[in-house]
A and B are shown apart, each in its own frame.
Chain A
């Protein structure tokens, strides 16, 4: 299957700092990438849809000024959590689509102290 990577795999930061997470499709071009958040023992919650070269579409309740998404190329999307707070601590997962389905990255665990 297609390979999607994320970096970093985990990050610990102080409250008020910004954190950038990268999502890369390694062996295919992805015009669309998705960003999800997953809390313990819960399913994935879609945060936003990222299309290459255009602004991301955010789900209701997701603050676009807090979660900045950039999809600058067909293989890279970034999510920046700005002014992170402890309640932003979560597991962030991206996915990338080829023509058929979505392939997920391994996830990034964020802990905000």
Chain B
């Protein structure tokens, strides 16, 4: 079993839809969780990070962490064509200089 599992998709949704992206993990040492967005041929862009169970909201994005189930989610409300990208979950035992363990990434297409 891989440490971090993420459905690679591809996932296609119509513009305006709510998108749900998910990752599961097996290592209970992971305490810090991040979501990155990567456009084709670009470096990953940090969207959100959190270290506590529960929800964290930033604009149209909501990150959700359930440590008891080892399950994290990213919700995108009112999705836009510009949200079309690959979304990577990442996690680490702590903040700062720890190595990140990535999911494989989910490729999202938002259709106008």
B111 at the binding interface (Cβ < 8 Å): no
Q: How many residues of B contact A (CB 8 A)?
A: 21
Task: Decide: B105 and A101 in contact? CB cutoff 8 A.
Answer: no
Which residues between 59 and 106 of chain B lie within 8 Å of chain A, taking CB atoms?
88, 90, 95-97, 99-100, 102-105
A78 at the binding interface (Cβ < 8 Å): no
Which residues between 25 and 56 of chain B lie within 8 Å of chain A, taking CB atoms?
32, 34, 36, 41-46, 49
State the total of A-B contacts with C-beta under 8 angstroms. Answer: 56
Task: Decide: A101 and B99 in contact? CB cutoff 8 A.
Answer: no
Give the contacting residue for B41; candidates A97, A98, A107; CB below 8 A: A107
Chain A contacts of B46 at CB under 8 A? 1, 101-104
A11 to B62, CA, bound (A): 38
Residue of A nearest to B45 (CB): A104
Give the contacting residue for A104; candidates B32, B36, B96, B99; CB below 8 A: B36
Task: Decide: A101 and B104 in contact? CB cutoff 8 A.
Answer: no
Task: Decide: A49 and B99 in contact? CB cutoff 8 A.
Answer: yes
Q: Given A1-B46, A104-B46, A106-B43, is A99 in contact with B104 using a C-beta cutoff of 8 Å?
A: no
Q: Which segment of A14-22, A40-48, A81-89 sits at the interface?
A: A40-48
Task: Decide: B44 and A44 in contact? CB cutoff 8 A.
Answer: yes
Closest 10 CB pairs of A and B: A32-B97, A104-B43, A107-B43, A106-B43, A104-B44, A43-B104, A101-B49, A43-B102, A93-B43, A100-B95
Residues of B within 8 A of A (CB): 32, 34, 36, 41-46, 49, 88, 90, 95-97, 99-100, 102-105
